[in-house]
Amino acid sequence: MSERVVLVTGGSRGIGRAVVRALVAERIRVAFTYREAEGAAREIADESAGQARGLRFDLRDRSRPAELVREIEEALGPIDGLVNNAAIRRDGLLASTSDDDWDDVVDANLGGAFRCCRAVLPGMISRRSGSIVNVASLTAIRSVAGQGAYAASKAGLIGMTKSLSREVGRRSVRVNAVVPGLVMTEMVADLPQERLQALRAIEALPSGTRPEDAAALIVFLLSDRARAITGQAIAVDAGSTA
């Protein structure tokens, strides 16, 4: 068993679940968070034979990240990898978006990632080792009507990634973003069929993008094989941005 410990937010479904499974396959200890899917979280923990453990967490809870990091490090050891994957959506035309919906999305997707980064960074900086991967979205760089709040939060995440990489690079802490295209997960299950078809139409590869494809890139960026990569936003989108 590796001595490495990685925290994955939103690890009970979609890309997060694929990341947890990929890390477990590498024999890395994983702490992952979930908000409501306790059954799915328990299933993932059970199939990992105790190598992964789930913890309840709401991205908008301002005090929880610091407590979460202390809890994980007391149980598993120092966190040397963080994957900010958890996110929420509140779709709607900008002109009809309420302040509450806008605040919820930006606070969860961008504020939650900021607070998780802030919580793990003191340890990573003092150990002069660590890797953070923020999961953004293709909507941050390619427009999708009705996702103004979501796109703004994910574009902000890319900006934060680049700035933070400059702040902590001299301490050998790397920060990157992964930009998935259309990945068929529970998060997009409610999108109208015509929108899904439009998003698929711009892909260059007929196979599309699976959660496992995004997970493979994330696990690579967490590893020492990516030791010269930081401050990057790398698309895994079946060629949508080609």
pLDDT at residue 2 tops 90: no
Q: Return the residue matching tokens 């908000």.
A: 35
pLDDT tens readout for residues 62-104: 999 999 999 999 999 999 999 999 999 999 999 999 999 999 9
Write down the pLDDT at residue 1: 66
DSSP conformation letters of 10-32: TTTSHHHHHHHHHHHHTT-EEEE
Domains of the chain in start order, with CATH, are: 5-236 (3.40.50.720)
Burial environment of residue 92 by CB neighbours within 10 A (0 to 12, 13 to 18, 19 or more): middle
CB atoms within 10 A of CB 201: 8
The two structure tokens encoding residue 23: 């890390």
Q: What percentage of residues in the chain have a pLDDT greater than 90?
A: 88
pLDDT tens readout for residues 174-219: 999 999 999 987 767 677 788 778 778 999 999 999 999 999 999 9
**Active site (catalytic) residues:** 150
The residues facing 238 across adjacent strands are none
Mean pLDDT of 223-232: 98
Kindly report whether the global pTM for this prediction surpasses the value 0.85. yes
